[in-house]
Amino acid sequence: MINDIKIFDTTLRDGEQAPGCSMNLKEKIEVAKCLERLKVDIIEAGFAISSPGDFESVKTVAETVKDCTVASLSRSVQKDIDAAYNAVKGAVDPRIHVFLATSPLHMEYKLKMTEDQVIENAAAAVKYARSLCSNIEFSCEDATRSDYDFMVKVVNAVVANGATTINLPDTVGYTTPDEMRNLISYVQSHIDNPEDVIFSVHCHNDLGMATANSLGGVLGGARQIECTINGLGERAGNTSLEEVVMAMRTRPDIFASQPRIDTTQISKASKTVYNIIGQSAPLNKPIVGKNAFAHEAGIHQHGVLANKATYEIMTPESVGITANNLVLGKHSGKHAFETRLKELGYELSKEELLACFEEFKVICDKKKTVNDSDLEAIVNHSVIKDEEGGYKLNWFSVNTSNFTTATCTINLEKNGKNYEAVCLGDGPLDAAFGAINKIAKPGEHTFADFSIFSISEGKDTIGDATIKLTNENKTYTGHGLSTDVIESSIVAYIQSVNKLIKQREEAAN
């Protein structure tokens, strides 16, 4: 097997650009660590010029990650390129990713540039980027709606000026697998020095074909695939990393060249990202959905029992899904807890382990057995735990019925001080959230989303509550875990309010 297909993950850039998917710095670092464990080749950590927060997170990822190239996106203008370079220069292998649109539509209506101006601008931008950094990617935005011979001219110009990777994106999710294959092979075979560059595909999923189109590109000669965990991304998303990688692993007869990804990390990376953005996988989502490996129909079960290969083209273990064993309980000690987490692939620092163990003990008081899904929820929850110095729940008391107005008294703590408030509401949660607002005064925001789902089966299951508040196009996601759904909702609300307050404080400084 030749491992020469590069996986370029853009969860932290194209993925994070999707509505409701914004992440804070701590969360981005957590995702970057997952990507490193997955062994992706390149992490696109953000678009450094777009905001000081983005610049900071690209810089921190660049300085944290050791085993991947770290890239920042940049328009074809000097100030973007400078920001991108300054953000990634601390990486072991920094990359600047410059882009400019090449389709007639984009050139006429968005850029208001002629073809010659686009060639000149792209060449100058790449030349400048290359004067700072030796690893330069250039993307012909909207390539699949661009003229092939014009793109050949653009690519010749940027390669002559130092581009080392050429990306031909399907920006609007318009192409088909055969067309993508032809596009890559046409441009590659018509440029002057194809051996000097790696060709890349970057597909969007508007027609549900992003994975198929990326694979078409690989068959046409692409050696880099741009993708995101869970297919996050603008509109209908980007190519899913898990789909494109597992398609290649499952069909080595078609794909002789393979990515170096450690596929056993896929399930964990998927859960971490879903948890951070406050979403869960659709049940039937390939590879990472709950039903992806479930065999309900009798005839399928019979076949699978006789020989797994009858209905299973890949194993759950190959993507890191372990059997849901009931393993721990009230009397399990820290050592057993740590050992099981290690078996599940979690390497936690001492402090993280302690925080998770405390949460585990609280849950054990209310729930007889704690299984692998519960443990994963506890770890994922601790990853995005409260902002330092934020409000914490001490206790609450609710009084509710279907014939009186609900009341909640709540007691929170912040920096060693206690705060108490009482509020009436339309139900216990409305009353509780009102009481929290009285104390924390989160200011203007929209209550954008609220969900609770059970982590496992049984009446004593843990309720995982997720609350999303939005303000000025940013999303503040909070999670709470408890066997009591009112408590998990309150904790989730406090966490999202803390994030909102922290963002306001940072913006004010």
- For ligand KIV, the closer of residues 139 and 373 by Cβ is 139
- For Zn ion, the closer of residues 227 and 321 by Cβ is 227
Residue 99 binds what, of ligand KIV, Zn ion, none (CB under 5 to 8 Å, by partner type)? ligand KIV
What torsion do the CA atoms of 116, 139, 250, 40 make, to the nearest 10 degrees?
160
> DSSP assignment, residue 178?
H
Provide Rg for the chain, Cα atoms. 25
- CB 311, min distance to ligand KIV, A: 36
- CB 111, min distance to ligand KIV, A: 13
Cα separations (Å) of 474 from 197, 469, 471?
A: 38, 8, 5
Judged by CB under 5 A, the stretch of 11-19, 36-44, 47-55, 319-327 that binds Zn ion is 11-19
**Contact footprint for ligand KIV (CB under 6 A):** 14, 73, 99, 139, 141, 167, 169, 171, 202, 204
- CB 304, min distance to Zn ion, A: 38
CA gap 27, 486 in Å, rounded = 25
Residue 57 binds what, of ligand KIV, Zn ion, none (CB under 5 to 8 Å, by partner type)? none
Residue 231 binds what, of ligand KIV, Zn ion, none (CB under 5 to 8 Å, by partner type)? none
Residue 477 binds what, of ligand KIV, Zn ion, none (CB under 5 to 8 Å, by partner type)? none
Distance of CA 405 to the CA centre of its chain: 41
Instruction: Kindly provide the b/e burial profile for residues 414-453, where b requires at least 16 CB atoms within 10 angstroms of the residue's own CB.
Output: eeeeebebebebeebbbbbbbbbbebbebeebeebbbeee
- For Zn ion, the closer of residues 102 and 489 by Cβ is 102
Q: Find out whether 223 and 254 touch, Cβ atoms under 8 Å.
A: no
- CB 171, min distance to ligand KIV, A: 3
Residue 429 binds what, of Zn ion, ligand KIV, none (CB under 5 to 8 Å, by partner type)? none
- For ligand KIV, the closer of residues 162 and 169 by Cβ is 169
* CB atoms inside a 10 Å sphere around CB 498: 22
Residue 141 binds what, of ligand KIV, Zn ion, none (CB under 5 to 8 Å, by partner type)? ligand KIV
Helix/strand/coil for 127:
helix
- CB 139, min distance to Zn ion, A: 9
> DSSP assignment, residue 387?
P
- For ligand KIV, the closer of residues 203 and 370 by Cβ is 203
Residue 137 binds what, of Zn ion, ligand KIV, none (CB under 5 to 8 Å, by partner type)? none
Cα separations (Å) of 380 from 166, 175, 224, 231, 466?
A: 36, 37, 30, 20, 13
Residue 455 binds what, of ligand KIV, Zn ion, none (CB under 5 to 8 Å, by partner type)? none
Residue with nearest beta carbon to Zn ion:
14
Q: Which two tokens stand for residue 178?
A: 């055969």
- For ligand KIV, the closer of residues 99 and 337 by Cβ is 99
Residues in binding contact with Zn ion, number by CB under 5 A: 1
Axis-axis angle for helices 115-132, 148-160 (nearest 10): 30
Of 25, 110, 32, the residue nearest 76 (C-alpha):
110
- For ligand KIV, the closer of residues 173 and 428 by Cβ is 173
- CB 143, min distance to ligand KIV, A: 8
- For ligand KIV, the closer of residues 167 and 279 by Cβ is 167
Residue 387 binds what, of Zn ion, ligand KIV, none (CB under 5 to 8 Å, by partner type)? none
- CB 339, min distance to ligand KIV, A: 42
- CB 51, min distance to ligand KIV, A: 17
- CB 139, min distance to ligand KIV, A: 4
- CB 49, min distance to ligand KIV, A: 13
CA gap 35, 43 in Å, rounded = 8
- For Zn ion, the closer of residues 73 and 277 by Cβ is 73
Among all chains, which residue has been given the structure tokens 């994070």?
16
Judged by CB under 5 A, the stretch of 6-14, 65-73, 269-277, 305-313 that binds Zn ion is 6-14
User: Which contacts (CB < 8 Å, 24+ apart) does range 218-223 have?
Assistant: 218/5, 218/248, 218/255, 218/257, 219/181, 219/254, 220/180, 220/181, 220/182, 220/183, 220/184, 220/185, 220/188, 221/184, 221/185, 221/188, 222/168, 222/184, 223/4, 223/5, 223/6, 223/198, 223/199, 223/257
Q: Which two tokens stand for residue 322?
A: 């372990």
Residue 139 binds what, of Zn ion, ligand KIV, none (CB under 5 to 8 Å, by partner type)? ligand KIV
- For ligand KIV, the closer of residues 36 and 206 by Cβ is 206
Helix/strand/coil for 167:
strand
Length of the chain in terms of residues written: 509
- CB 225, min distance to ligand KIV, A: 13
Helix (H) or strand (E) holding 374: helix 372-383
- For ligand KIV, the closer of residues 139 and 263 by Cβ is 139
DSSP letters for 319-352:
GTPPP--EEEETT--HHHHHHHHHHTT----HHH
Q: Kindly report the backbone phi and psi dihedral angles of residue 421, in degrees, each rounded to the nearest multiple of 5, phi listed first.
A: -150, 155
Sole binder of Zn ion in the list 9, 14, 41, 137 (CB under 5 A): 14
The reply to whether 16 sits near Zn ion by the rule CB under 5 A is no
- For ligand KIV, the closer of residues 75 and 479 by Cβ is 75
Q: Find out whether 46 and 73 touch, Cβ atoms under 8 Å.
A: yes
- CB 45, min distance to ligand KIV, A: 14
Chain residues binding Zn ion by CB under 5 A are: 14
